[in-house]
Chain A
C-alpha cells in the first residue's frame, strides 16, 4: 500500500477513535470553577503542586528518546553537570569516566596540567583517537562528599552553552546552540530547578538556526543544568557541551 495512503488511514483511525470519546472538562477550570481570581489561582497552584509532587515521588525518566538513538540516559547534577554525587578519583579519572559512560567513547585519553592544585577546579582535556570526535575541556571540582564532579564541559577552545529568553514577542526560553563541526543532531538533556529532567533532540535545522526553542519554559532561570551531546550521522557522540 502507498505510504501516503497508509499514513492517512492511520491518522483517520486515530482521529475517529478520539472523536468517539466524550470531551473532558477544561482541566484548569473544572465543573465547580467560579469566576474569582482567588479561586483561579488556587486551582492552578493545587494542580501545579500535584504535578510536582507526582514528579518528585515517582522520579523523572528521560527515556522517550531511547527509541531514536542508542544514547544512554544521563542524570545531571543540580549545581554541576555530572555525576549526581561526587566520584572518588583524580580529575582525569572522573573525566575519563564521563567520556566512557556518558559519551560512549571506548578508549579516551586525557591530559591534565601538571601544576594543577587538586583542591581547586582542575581542567582536563579529553579526546578520543580516531573517528570524528572533537577534544573536550572539562572542568572538575571537589564535591561536598569529597569526590569530584564535572562543573563544565566544552569543546576545546570553545564556549559553553547558554540559556536565554526567547524574543520579547515570543513566550519561552531557548538554548543557544553553538554548532560543532560534523554534528548532524544533538541530544539535549535539561535539569530544571524542580528536579525534573527532560530530553530534547536538535536536528540540523535547529543547529543551523543556532537555537533550540523551549516554549514551555517561560523563565530561563528555571533551567539548572544543560548537557548537549553532539552526534554525527552515525549517531556517535563526537562532542559535548554544558552550560
Chain B
C-alpha cells in the first residue's frame, strides 16, 4: 500500500473515531459500572475496528457496527481486577458536584438501567443516550422494531417501579 493510501486510511479512521467516540463512550458509561471500564470498552472496540478497518469502512453502516460491539461488551465486559480496584466514577469527580442532585439522580438511573436484562438495558441506552429512533436501535441490535418496542416498554415499567421506591 502506498504511503498516500495509508494516510488516507488513517484520516478516514480518525474522522470515524472523532464522530463516534463521545457517543459510544456515553453508551458504554451508561451500561457499565464505571468510567475506567467504559473507556476500556471503547478503546477495545476501536482497536477491533482499526484492525478490520478495510472491511468495516466498506460496510453500509459502520456506526451501527461499533455501537453493537460496544453495547455487547458493556454488558458482558471482560473485567479486570485491577480496573475494578480503581473504581471511581469520573462522572462524579469530573463535575465536582457530589451533592448535585441531578448527577446523583442520573447515576441512580444508570445504576438501575444496568440491573435490567441485557437487551432492555441496551435498548434504553441506545434510545436515550444516543437518541436513536426505534428503527436504528433495531438495526444496531439486529432485531425487529417490535422487539425494541417490547423491550422499551418493559424496561420503562421496571425502571418506573424501581426508581420510585
Contact = CB atoms under 8 A, between A and B. Distances in A.
Interface of A: 3-4, 6-11, 13-15, 17-21, 23-24, 26-29, 33, 35-37, 40, 44, 47-48, 51, 54-55, 57-65, 67-68, 171, 185, 196-203, 205-206, 209, 213-216, 218
23 contacts: A10-B128, A13-B102, A13-B105, A15-B26, A15-B129, A17-B95, A20-B94, A26-B46, A27-B47, A28-B50, A29-B10, A44-B47, A60-B78, A62-B76, A64-B79, A67-B114, A68-B117, A171-B59, A205-B119, A206-B119, A215-B68, A218-B48, A218-B51
Contacts of B106: 9-10, 13-14
A43 to B, nearest CB: 9
Interface string B10-52: 1001100110011001100110110000000001111110111
B50 A44 contact: yes
A200 B75 contact: yes
Given A60-B78, A216-B72, 7 more contacts: A11-B131, A24-B21, A44-B51, A51-B47, A68-B114, A171-B59, A197-B78
A15 B25 CA distance: 9
Interface of B: 1, 3-4, 6-7, 10, 13-14, 17-18, 21-22, 25-26, 29-30, 32-33, 43-48, 50-52, 55-56, 59, 65, 68-69, 72-73, 75-84, 91, 94-95, 102-103, 105-106, 109-110, 114-119, 124, 128-129, 131, 142-143, 147, 156, 159-160, 163
Contacts of A67: 33, 114-115
Interface class of chain B by DSSP:
helix
A201 B118 contact: yes
In this complex, the member of A3, A10, A197, A202 whose beta carbon has the largest number of chain B beta carbons within 10 angstroms is A10
A55 B156 contact: no
B159 A9 contact: no
A11 B81 contact: no
B21 A60 contact: no
B142 to A, nearest CB: 6
A98 to B, nearest CB: 22
A189 to B, nearest CB: 9
Contact of B91 (A17, A23, A40, A47): A17
Nearest to B18: A23
A63 B14 CA distance: 33
Contacts of A55: 78, 80
Nearest to B76: A200
A91 to B, nearest CB: 32
B119 A203 contact: yes
A226 to B, nearest CB: 13
